[in-house]
A and B are shown apart, each in its own frame.
Chain A
Amino acid sequence: MRNIWTIAKKEYDHYFITPIAYIVAFVILLILGFLFTAVIQGATQGALYGYGTAPDITVVNWWFAFLLMFGTPALTMRLIADETKTGTIELLLTAPIRDYELIIGKWLGSFLFILTIIVASLVYPIVLNKFVTPGIDWKLVLSSYLGVVLVAASFLSLGVGISALFSNQIAAFFISLVTCLGLFFLIGIPANLMPAGGDFFNYMVMRTHFDNAFNAGKIDLSNIIYFVSLIALGLFTGTVAVEARRWN
């Protein structure tokens, strides 16, 4: 655990000296800011004309999850690929740490950075609560944010795993992006084309697990298991890739 924390801390600190991390944080928070303003304006106008419903944070958080699809590959692309390219992987693989500690440490570092952005975005529900009488549904906020956290953790884990397969950051970025995009939307397409047996593909669509469960205020074990499985898959891929690098 200590090794995982040491690596995570180094990675977390590193994000604050890299422009790409600031760009990701800035773009996500900026777009969410615009969306939040639009939600408030829409709700205000609706209220004026008498057809509006109380605004909630779920629309903003849907877009948050969508933006993470693009943001997380930018944060994970260098995590292992850059170490391989610059040779510092030799330093880490000859240090007294286990391969899985390295991978989990890298993932945790990136997760803590995304968590920082998520925490910063909590300003939106707090502000929203001031506008809504008698206040917003905090259980829904909690559920929605838990969904965002799990989506981020899954994307980051897959990104770390993919980064361990490449020594080129750009390749790692695009493969991670395609994987995230595929998992969030595209994997459901074959299900619509298949006469039968499309259940698996439908089950794999991340958007459904996020939209119909967490972002709808429903926290249940099966959806948590889905995300935890994806996180485990990414971390396992990364560990195996590092292990394979030793043998090759």
Chain B
Amino acid sequence: MIQVNGLIKDYGARRALNSITFDANQGEIVGFLGPNGAGKTTTMRILSGYMPPTDGSAIVAGYDIVEESLEVRRRVGYLPETVPLYTDMTALEYLKFMAELRHIPNAQDRAYETLEQVNLGDRAKSYIGNFSKGMRQRVGLAQALIHRPEVLILDEPTIGLDPAQVVEIRNVIKEIGKDRTVLLSTHILTEAQQICDRVLIINKGAIVAEDTPENLQSRLVGSQRAILRVRGDSDGLDATIKKVKGTRGIEVKDAETVEFEFSSGQDVRPQVAKAVVQAGYELTELRPVGMSLEEIFLELTQDNSAGKGQGSKS
């Protein structure tokens, strides 16, 4: 549904996008992560038909973004970073206007329906100027959804929402992502971890990593660590773990806790659990302590380590 090939965008002498290539399929939610100025918004603006690239090409919903921009715009729902709203209109008037621009029959009914979808049905006739930031964000999302787009491009969709609203909107996005393509940028890395099937990490206009959040963790680190807790005396626990083939880097944290490392491709946790229980220890916890997406993000986007990730595509 989205195929990006060698996209380049120059703003004067500054290159904002440096030949990025990626794709996103139907029924997939792809997260776009990167520090400020990395090129996320520029990419999204190009894919939504707001502006053309300097070079490269992209196909969105089967249409070329430059040659068939109108067709692309008919099929894309776009929520920009700064939510574009007419504050002197009611939510209903605003969405009706957007529906009419997209030639949707029964524009008013569709506007109501979409407001219900983002839980603003009861505020349909309120002026947007009186809305809270979270409500404005939801109206913005509603305009992106009004025409039931094949591709949804969302620039920071949950920014400014309260925790309950964040959950609601994430659920809406997940629901849409079941049968359509969603490309979203976010600074909330746990959000990417929770709702994205795949994550693209962009830095200085280039994609430095692309994979599922889980694979990024394991591919970047190459090995995983696990934490093991027992109740009571843990004397000799480290030796017991050491005996299990594939374990290494064993570290006693306190009287009841030991951390150990194992290769990503060889999960030895079941064997470790079995050995510990058989040795007579009362096992209370055994869980992975992998690198968080935050750590991966920092690792990949810090100046001295850009492009270091094994998941790198660029």
- CB-defined contacts of A2 to chain B, threshold 8 Å: 103
Instruction: Enumerate A179-214 residues with CB–CB distance to B below 8 Å.
Output: none
Instruction: Flag if A95 contacts B52 (CB, 8 Å).
Output: no
Assess whether A51 is interfacial by the CB under 8 Å rule.
no
Instruction: Enumerate A68-116 residues with CB–CB distance to B below 8 Å.
Output: 86-91, 93-98
Instruction: Flag if B88 contacts A94 (CB, 8 Å).
Output: no
Assess whether B32 is interfacial by the CB under 8 Å rule.
no
Chain A interface, number of residues (Cβ within 8 angstroms): 22
Q: Please give 9 more A-B residue pairs, beta carbons under 8 A apart, in addition to A18-B88, A86-B84, A94-B49.
A: A17-B88, A91-B84, A91-B143, A93-B49, A93-B50, A94-B73, A96-B70, A96-B101, A247-B52
Instruction: Flag if B74 contacts A246 (CB, 8 Å).
Output: no
Instruction: Flag if A246 contacts B50 (CB, 8 Å).
Output: yes
- CB-defined contacts of A14 to chain B, threshold 8 Å: 88
Instruction: Flag if A90 contacts B73 (CB, 8 Å).
Output: no
Instruction: Enumerate B43-61 residues with CB–CB distance to A below 8 Å.
Output: 45, 48-52
CA distance A10 to B98 in the complex (A): 11
- CB-defined contacts of A98 to chain B, threshold 8 Å: 70
CA distance A246 to B52 in the complex (A): 7
Assess whether B85 is interfacial by the CB under 8 Å rule.
yes
- CB-defined contacts of A90 to chain B, threshold 8 Å: 45, 50, 80, 82, 84
Instruction: Enumerate B72-117 residues with CB–CB distance to A below 8 Å.
Output: 73-74, 76, 78, 80, 82, 84-86, 88, 97-98, 100-103
B residues lining the A interface (CB < 8 Å)? 45, 48-52, 70-71, 73-74, 76, 78, 80, 82, 84-86, 88, 97-98, 100-103, 143
Closest Cβ of chain A to B50, distance in Å, is 5
Instruction: Flag if B84 contacts A87 (CB, 8 Å).
Output: yes
CA distance A98 to B98 in the complex (A): 15
The 8 closest A-B pairs by CB, nearest first: A91-B84, A88-B84, A96-B73, A96-B74, A87-B82, A6-B100, A94-B48, A246-B51
Instruction: Flag if B101 contacts A97 (CB, 8 Å).
Output: yes
Which chain B residue has the least Cβ–Cβ distance from A90? B80
Instruction: Flag if A94 contacts B78 (CB, 8 Å).
Output: yes
| Residue with the greatest number of chain A CB neighbours at <10 A, chosen from B70, B76, B86 | B86
| Residue with the greatest number of chain B CB neighbours at <10 A, chosen from A2, A88, A96 | A96
- CB-defined contacts of A91 to chain B, threshold 8 Å: 80, 84, 98, 143
CA distance A93 to B86 in the complex (A): 15
Residue contacts A-B, CB under 8 angstroms, 15 given: A6-B97, A17-B88, A18-B88, A87-B82, A88-B84, A90-B45, A90-B80, A91-B98, A93-B50, A95-B101, A95-B102, A96-B101, A96-B102, A246-B50, A247-B51
Assess whether A3 is interfacial by the CB under 8 Å rule.
yes
Q: Which of A7, A17, A93, A94 contacts B76 (CB 8 A)?
A: A94
CA distance A214 to B278 in the complex (A): 105
Which chain A residue has the least Cβ–Cβ distance from B140? A91
Which chain B residue has the least Cβ–Cβ distance from A3? B101
- CB-defined contacts of A86 to chain B, threshold 8 Å: 84
CA distance A2 to B103 in the complex (A): 8
Closest Cβ of chain B to A195, distance in Å, is 46
CA distance A64 to B253 in the complex (A): 88
Instruction: Flag if B76 contacts A88 (CB, 8 Å).
Output: no
- CB-defined contacts of B76 to chain A, threshold 8 Å: 94
- CB-defined contacts of B102 to chain A, threshold 8 Å: 95-96
Instruction: Flag if A88 contacts B50 (CB, 8 Å).
Output: no
| Residue with the greatest number of chain A CB neighbours at <10 A, chosen from B51, B70, B71 | B51
Closest Cβ of chain A to B153, distance in Å, is 9
- CB-defined contacts of B100 to chain A, threshold 8 Å: 6
CA distance A184 to B13 in the complex (A): 42
CA distance A67 to B26 in the complex (A): 58
- CB-defined contacts of A3 to chain B, threshold 8 Å: 101
- CB-defined contacts of B101 to chain A, threshold 8 Å: 3, 6-7, 95-97
Instruction: Flag if B52 contacts A88 (CB, 8 Å).
Output: no
Instruction: Flag if B88 contacts A87 (CB, 8 Å).
Output: no
Which chain A residue has the least Cβ–Cβ distance from B72? A96
Which chain B residue has the least Cβ–Cβ distance from A89? B84
CA distance A2 to B105 in the complex (A): 13
Instruction: Flag if A95 contacts B50 (CB, 8 Å).
Output: no
- CB-defined contacts of A94 to chain B, threshold 8 Å: 48-50, 73, 76, 78, 80
CA distance A91 to B143 in the complex (A): 9
- CB-defined contacts of B51 to chain A, threshold 8 Å: 93, 246-247
Instruction: Enumerate A112-143 residues with CB–CB distance to B below 8 Å.
Output: none
- CB-defined contacts of B80 to chain A, threshold 8 Å: 87, 90-91, 94
Closest Cβ of chain A to B93, distance in Å, is 8
